[in-house]
């Protein structure tokens, strides 16, 4: 860990838990700014930056906070639309994670993800399209979600949350039946109850670690643990669900990492058995990756593909990726047996570009091996 990363982690602790922090002498605040932006924690960290240095941060900070309120308003409009048709939904991540933060508006926002009962998915789809939400992407076969856009906001309508990598669907379905109400600055919204909501947060990390993940999602988990997942709740409910879904090792390591580096209180003891070296290894992966692999640039794609191939096997990955990427298949499902061939041709077209950067390619391949080994240690 270099000094810039150390200062970033120190300022996160100060912002979230009001800790005094370490020395701030000889800090390159421009480098900290760049790192905070790559990790998508800029507005969060900005409040803990010395006042004399804030000028560098203010424009981006205020832009991110303004984006938060734009998303909050767009979410309220969506909830109103669904309430008029008595169509139940629950917000996933987003405000359902921000609600645990001391200042929710400093949590960076992306898509508005939400889930409806599977049997009402088509009704929700028709409702959104009649109301002017424009479809922008769809997972092949509508297996999990469809993306929409309206007024510069992106929405993901889910019929299920789980992927082939992790299945928590029975908890999500039960959570939809027992929704709770979250509230941020008098904006109320439906969210999953605490067991299902926590499983969604850790499963989301599980789904994206393969392609690279940064600090924002880890902080979401930490703030959830701080507010909800004490020793009693872990023993009574969460542990059994995490073990059943294969998320227990990841949850334990993540939580101990948050204690060691991000200020989470030590009174939470259910993570005490975590492998300390594995915590350090995971932190290094997060710091080198950035939010969704942002810091890896083009290397993120190579690492993601090779990590997936190591985990799934060559042919299963080619078939899956071909289904996802081949526009013709998405219109004509009878092409399914040929999706692996399409994906091979796609990579053949990319090969000359990759070969022009042999040294970087070798580095990316080594990184994919290291990431796969880390995932194995985490129980993937």
Through-space distance between the first and last CA atoms of the chain, rounded to whole angstroms: 25
Structure tokens at 143: 């297996």
pLDDT: which is higher, 360 or 162: 162
Express as a percent the part of the chain with pLDDT over 70.
81
> For residue range 43-59, what is the model confidence (pLDDT) as tens digits?
999 999 988 888 889 99
Residue 166 DSSP class: B
Sheet holding 90-92, edge to edge: 134-138, 145-150, 153-158, 112-115, 90-92, 187-191, 180-184
pLDDT surpasses 80 at 232: yes
- 171, 203 Cβ separation under 8 angstroms: no
Measured CA distances, 355 to 166, 225, 341, 352 (Å) = 34, 45, 21, 5
- 68, 91 Cβ separation under 8 angstroms: no
Q: What size, in residues, is the chain?
A: 380
Nearest-10 Cα torsion for 323, 326, 327, 329: -50
pLDDT of residue 337: 77
Range list of β-strands (E), 126-263: 134-138, 145-150, 153-158, 180-184, 187-191
Query: Which of 113-122, 208-217, 262-271 has the lowest average pLDDT?
Result: 208-217
pTM value? 0.83
E strand or H helix at 342: helix 339-355
pLDDT band at 297 (very low <50, low <70, confident <90, very high): very low
pLDDT surpasses 90 at 243: yes
The average pLDDT across 61-77 equals 95
pLDDT of residue 25: 82
For residue 23, give every residue at least 6 positions away whose Cβ sits within 8 Å of its Cβ, in sequence order, or none. Answer: none
From 192, 59, 54, select the one nearest 114 (Cα to Cα): 192
CA atoms of 346 and 76, how far apart (whole Å): 41
E strand or H helix at 195: helix 194-209
The average pLDDT across 92-121 equals 95
CA atoms of 106 and 44, how far apart (whole Å): 5
The three-class DSSP label of residue 163 is: strand
Backbone conformation region of residue 186, classed left if phi is above 0, alpha if psi is from -120 to 50, else beta = left
- 105, 68 Cβ separation under 8 angstroms: yes
**Of the spans 218-222, 317-321, 346-350, which averages the highest pLDDT?**
218-222
CA atoms of 200 and 171, how far apart (whole Å): 9
pLDDT band at 208 (very low <50, low <70, confident <90, very high): confident
Measured CA distances, 45 to 8, 16, 62, 70 (Å) = 7, 9, 12, 21
pLDDT surpasses 50 at 299: no
pLDDT surpasses 90 at 76: yes
Mean of pLDDT over the chain: 86
pLDDT band at 292 (very low <50, low <70, confident <90, very high): low
- 52, 92 Cβ separation under 8 angstroms: no
The average pLDDT across 214-225 equals 95
Query: Which of 31-35, 68-72, 309-313 has the lowest average pLDDT?
Result: 309-313
pLDDT band at 352 (very low <50, low <70, confident <90, very high): confident
Range list of β-strands (E), the chain: 90-92, 112-115, 134-138, 145-150, 153-158, 180-184, 187-191
Structure tokens at 64: 């991110």
The average pLDDT across 130-135 equals 95
pLDDT band at 298 (very low <50, low <70, confident <90, very high): very low
CA atoms of 360 and 58, how far apart (whole Å): 35
Query: Domains in the chain and their CATH numbers?
Result: 3-61 (no CATH), 79-292 (3.30.460.40), 297-377 (no CATH)
Query: Which of 3-17, 277-291, 300-314, 331-345 has the lowest average pLDDT?
Result: 300-314
Q: 236 exposed, middle or buried (CB, 10 Å; 0-12, 13-18, 19+)?
A: exposed
CB atoms within 10 A of CB 377: 15
């Amino acid at each position: 860990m270099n000094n810039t990363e150390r200062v970033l982690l120190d300022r996160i602790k100060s912002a979230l838990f009001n800790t005094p922090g370490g020395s701030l002498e000889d800090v390159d605040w421009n480098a900290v700014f760049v790192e905070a932006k790559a990790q998508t924690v800029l507005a969060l960290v900005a409040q803990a930056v010395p006042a004399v240095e804030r000028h560098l941060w203010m424009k981006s900070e205020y832009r991110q906070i303004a984006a938060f309120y734009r998303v909050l308003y767009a979410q309220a409009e969506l909830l109103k639309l669904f309430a008029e048709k008595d169509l139940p939904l629950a917000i996933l991540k987003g405000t359902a994670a921000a609600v645990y933060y001391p200042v929710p508006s400093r949590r960076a926002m992306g898509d508005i993800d939400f889930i409806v009962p599977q049997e009402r998915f088509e009704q929700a789809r028709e409702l959104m399209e009649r109301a002017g939400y424009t479809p922008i992407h769809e997972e092949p076969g509508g297996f999990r979600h469809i993306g929409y856009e309206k007024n510069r906001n992106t929405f993901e309508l889910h019929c299920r949350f789980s992927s082939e990598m992790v299945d928590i669907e029975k908890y999500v379905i039960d959570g939809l039946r027992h929704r709770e109400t979250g509230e941020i600055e008098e904006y109320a919204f439906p969210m999953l109850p605490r067991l299902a909501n926590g499983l969604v947060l850790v499963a989301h990390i599980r789904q994206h670690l393969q392609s690279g993940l940064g600090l924002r999602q880890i902080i979401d988990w930490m703030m959830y643990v701080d507010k909800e997942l004490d020793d009693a709740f872990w023993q009574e409910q969460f542990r059994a669900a995490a073990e059943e879904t294969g998320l227990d090792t990841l949850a334990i390591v993540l939580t101990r990492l948050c204690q060691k580096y991000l200020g989470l209180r030590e009174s939470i003891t259910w993570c005490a058995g975590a492998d300390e070296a594995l915590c350090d290894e995971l932190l290094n992966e997060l710091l080198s990756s950035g939010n969704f692999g942002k810091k890896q640039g083009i290397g993120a794609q190579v690492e993601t593909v090779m990590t997936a191939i190591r985990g799934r096997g060559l042919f299963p990955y080619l078939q899956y990726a071909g289904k996802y990427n081949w526009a013709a298949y998405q219109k004509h499902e009878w092409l399914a047996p040929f999706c692996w061939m399409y994906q091979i041709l796609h990579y053949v077209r990319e090969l000359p570009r990759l070969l022009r950067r042999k040294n970087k390619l070798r580095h990316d391949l080594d990184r994919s091996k290291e990431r796969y080994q880390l995932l194995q240690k985490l129980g993937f």
